[in-house]
Each structure stands twice: as structure tokens, then as C-alpha cells.
């Protein structure tokens, strides 16, 4: 059942999820299914966390960590029963926000920022960090000022 007062256009039939085995083609998912789906989602997140740790450890082991910028970005969120929805493709913030995590040797140390950046900004940012001229054809804006603790240059 759709929560009130949300607009009808914000909802869909979570078609992506319906492509998987044991998912009904219509209607709500069974009473027991959400727990397994949520568990699977968190297992996948835990797995990728472990893989990232392995990459960072290997960079340390090879002596490359202090010369390597690491960028991690994620796909937009998967609704896991948020707003009674499953999957993506909605206009709720659960599916609109995406993480960008960047490790810059000597410049970042686990800080968090709520300034708005976009994936289109990553190329310009990497160019600036590497001391490479940003091509005039690039549309993104470097977020190096945010990394340095300054305000966003987004307008």
C-alpha cells in the first residue's frame, strides 16, 4: 500500500526486482521475503567493503599508497522497502544520492562533506590533483576546494 501523501508518479512496480527468481511478477512480495532481500543487500555491501580493504592494503604493501589517489563511487541507492518500494528508479532521496569517496594522500583523512558534487566533477578533480591541465571541453568542476576544506564552487 502506497504511503500517504506521496504522489502516484513516485511509485513503480519494482520491475528490476521482479526479474529475479522467486520474486512474484505482480503484487507485494511475500511476508518472509523482505528479511532475505535486506540480508542479501547488506551481505553485498559487506563484501565490497572487504574488497576495498584488500585493495588499500595491497597499495600499502606495494608502497604505492602515498602516491595513489583512490576514488570510490557508488550506484544510486536501492530501495529496500523504503516507501514500500524495492529497487531503484524513484525520485525519493534514497535513490537520488550517491556516495563519492576519495582518498588523496596528504590531503584527506576521513573527513565528510555535505557539499554537492557530481560524478561529472571527478575528472576535473583528478586532473587538478595530478597537476594536469583540465581540458576546456570538460563540463565538470573540480571539487579540490572542498577537499581542502573550503566551500563548494557549485552554483
> What is the chain's pLDDT, residue by residue, as a tens digit (155 residues)?
667 777 777 777 777 888 888 888 887 777 888 888 889 888 988 999 999 999 999 999 999 999 999 999 887 667 777 777 777 777 777 777 788 899 999 999 888 888 888 899 999 999 999 999 999 999 999 999 999 888 665 55
SS (H, E, C) the chain: CCCCCCCHHHCCCCHHHHCCCCCCCCCCCCCCHHHHHHHHHHHHHHHHHHHHHHHHHHHHHCCCHHHCCEEEECCCCCEECHHHCEECCCCCHHHHCCCEEEECCCCCCCCCCCCCCCHHHHHHHHHHHHCCCCCCCCCCCCCHHHHCCCCCCCC
pLDDT of residue 108: 92
> pTM for this one?
0.78
pLDDT of residue 1: 62
Amino acid at each position: 500500500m502506497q504511503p500517504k501523501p506521496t504522489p502516484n508518479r513516485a511509485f513503480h512496480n519494482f520491475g528490476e526486482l521482479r526479474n529475479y527468481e522467486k520474486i512474484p511478477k505482480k503484487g507485494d512480495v511475500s511476508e518472509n521475503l523482505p528479511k532475505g532481500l535486506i540480508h542479501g543487500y547488506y551481505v553485498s555491501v559487506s563484501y565490497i567493503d572487504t574488497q576495498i580493504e584488500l585493495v588499500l592494503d595491497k597499495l600499502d604493501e606495494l608502497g604505492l599508497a602515498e602516491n595513489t589517489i583512490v576514488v570510490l563511487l557508488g550506484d544510486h541507492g536501492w530501495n529496500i522497502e523504503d516507501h514500500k518500494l524495492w529497487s531503484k528508479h524513484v525520485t525519493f532521496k534514497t535513490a537520488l544520492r550517491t556516495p563519492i569517496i576519495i582518498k588523496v594522500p596528504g590531503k584527506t583523512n576521513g573527513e565528510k562533506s555535505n557539499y554537492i558534487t557530481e560524478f561529472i566533477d571527478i575528472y576535473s578533480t583528478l586532473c587538478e590533483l595530478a597537476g594536469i591541465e583540465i581540458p576546456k571541453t570538460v563540463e565538470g568542476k573540480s571539487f579540490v576546494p572542498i577537499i581542502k576544506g573550503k566551500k563548494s564552487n557549485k552554483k
